[in-house]
Amino acid sequence: MSTESPERPTLRTVAAEAGVSIATVSYVLSGHPRAESISQPTAQRVKAVATRLGYRRNDAARAIRTGKSDLVLLSLNVLADPWSQAVAAAVSAKVTPLGKTALIIADGDWRAVLAKRTPDLIFIDHVGREPELVAELEGFAAQGVQIVAFSEVLEPRGFDVIRSGAEPRCHLAVEHLLERHTRIGALTSQRHGARFDAYLTTMAAAGLPVDRVAKFAPHPEDAYWAAMSLLTQPDRPTALYCTTDFAAIAAIRAAHRLRLDVPGDLAVIGVGNTPDGERVDPSLSTVGPVGFNEALAEIIAGRLTNREGAPGEVFDFPWQLIVRESTGG
């Protein structure tokens, strides 16, 4: 008796068994957009045959043959940030019908990952202007990696740059609080120097002190305890400017814990305009772009399907003030 394992079924095997072309099988099983033009009975027959034969895509061989991995990598610095979660959800929903899989690089070390594999595209959150980083981005782009980088300072050099104009607009949040308050505190992270600078300069222009400030590590729980430290002071602030939405949501949680009414006892405003900010009770006033996540997902899908021009564009998403319940709007 032969102990050899049966030959692994291929696209050709499935196509012959289902009575269709190899291209039809490829479109149906990969989720390619052209699969929409294939009748439902035919698609169901292809899937049934593939399941019965035990067909599995050989992604390693496909990557060698086509140069594509069907992977979209998302290098996100703070996974607990609702902004990161919203970006991941929007991109995943957009690229899945294209037969792509969106994967998050948990530690944000995109350089180490790109040194080992070549995704179809990578989105990198918050890239600085350090020369060595720019050189590595250019190098990977020259190797054929499609890169979309979120940065206020980078110029596109074979890769695309997303800009939000965030820092110049953050002063709108502080000015909004100044309409009703003078004891305005701030929750800030080390990563948000420019956003915090907007608070400092706007308060200085109003002739007000900046002695109600707490810093937090990039995690909601640390922001919560930073807010608690400010709100339990004898001369606590009556308004809080927070350099991220997740810190603002944490501040609302802290206020509830202390039985402070928001916005009656404490007005709170964030930065980013994340979906969670709209869902929290009370809804969060913020500064940020409108429709950013969906637009970013469209840009990425456009690159994957060659709908956009050559890589090396700047996509601007101007920020605006969004007034909701947490500041009495």
Nearest Cα to 177, choosing from 273, 266, 255?
A: 266
C-alpha to C-alpha distance for 273 and 264, rounded to whole angstroms: 22
**In a domain? residue 79:** yes
Number of neighbours of residue 46 by Cβ within 10 angstroms: 25
Higher pLDDT, 6 or 266: 266
Do 185 and 42 sit in the same domain of this protein?
no
Q: What is the pLDDT of residue 304?
A: 87
CATH of the domain at 35: 1.10.260
3 found inside a domain: no
Number of structural domains in the chain: 3
Question: Which of 23-27, 225-229, 255-259, 300-304 has the lowest average pLDDT?
Answer: 23-27
Q: What average pLDDT does the chain have?
A: 85
Residues 275, 277, 280: CA angle, nearest 5 degrees:
110
Residue 158 resides in a domain = yes
Model confidence, pTM: 0.68
Looking at the structure, do residues 156 and 107 belong to the same domain, yes or no? yes
The C-alpha angle with vertex 190 and arms to 287 and 84, in degrees rounded to 5, equals: 55
| Tens digits of residue pLDDT in 218-243 | 888 999 999 999 999 999 999 999 99
| Mode of pairing for the β-strands spanning 160-163 and 314-316 | parallel
- Check whether 43 has a pLDDT greater than 70: yes
Q: Which domain holds residue 32?
A: 11-57
Would you call 89 exposed, middle or buried from its count of C-beta atoms within 10 A (0-12, 13-18, 19+)?
A: middle
